[in-house]
């Protein structure tokens, strides 16, 4: 169950640095032995911080914050970006949690505001793309996501299989 010392809230610009740290550190732990080491070694807090400074003003970004003010996870979502999946109008773009905070209900807590944001747009369907070798894919299955496609993505010069999970009615997730 989620620790009572974690708060979920909408991200603000001053969160960019903390989100960037979670983003880079989570990639390094989650994608070790999946994504090429050289790619992971070249991830930088500075470039991710700039990315989040650019993204936060557009909304759809949420953080999990400890009582000490440390960002331990984040999520981002909105309209489906590819236009490739007829009938799926919303998308969970990203959800990352520091390794030591995983398995405590924070992921579920972080996905709720994304779903609310998507529903607030008048949309009731959602999808997410996740690397096939990422064990976190089981999280989406546990939430009722159905595997609707398998695609390939290139990361660091390596072609990797990615699964697409979809929900036909996000109102039934929680």
Query: How many C-alpha atoms does 30 have within 13 Å on its Cβ side?
Result: 20
Determine the pLDDT at residue 4. 64
Residues 116 and 60: their CA atoms lie apart, in Å, by: 10
Alpha carbon of residue 5 to chain centroid: 21
Residues 37 and 95: their CA atoms lie apart, in Å, by: 21
Determine the pLDDT at residue 92. 98
Determine the pLDDT at residue 3. 55
Low-confidence ranges of the chain (pLDDT < 50): 1
Determine the pLDDT at residue 1. 44
Determine the pLDDT at residue 38. 97
Determine the pLDDT at residue 2. 54
- Contacting residues for 108 by C-beta, under 8 A, at least 6 apart: 2, 143
Determine the pLDDT at residue 5. 85
């Amino acid at each position: 169950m989620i620790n009572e010392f974690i708060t979920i809230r909408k991200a603000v610009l001053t969160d960019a640095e903390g989100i960037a740290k979670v983003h880079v550190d989570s990639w390094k732990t989650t994608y070790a032995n999946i994504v090429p080491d050289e790619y992971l070694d070249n991830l930088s807090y500075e470039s991710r911080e700039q990315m989040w400074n650019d993204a936060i003003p557009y909304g759809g970004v949420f953080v999990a914050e400890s009582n000490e003010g440390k960002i331990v996870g984040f999520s981002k979502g909105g309209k489906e970006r590819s236009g490739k999946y007829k009938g799926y109008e919303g998308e969970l773009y990203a959800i990352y949690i520091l390794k030591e905070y995983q398995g405590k209900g924070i992921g579920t807590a972080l996905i709720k505001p994304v779903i609310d944001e998507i529903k607030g747009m008048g949309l009731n369907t959602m999808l997410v793309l996740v690397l096939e070798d990422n064990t976190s894919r089981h999280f989406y299955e546990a939430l009722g996501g159905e595997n609707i496609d398998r695609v390939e993505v290139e990361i660091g010069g390596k072609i990797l299989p990615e699964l697409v999970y979809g929900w036909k009615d996000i109102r039934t997730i929680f």
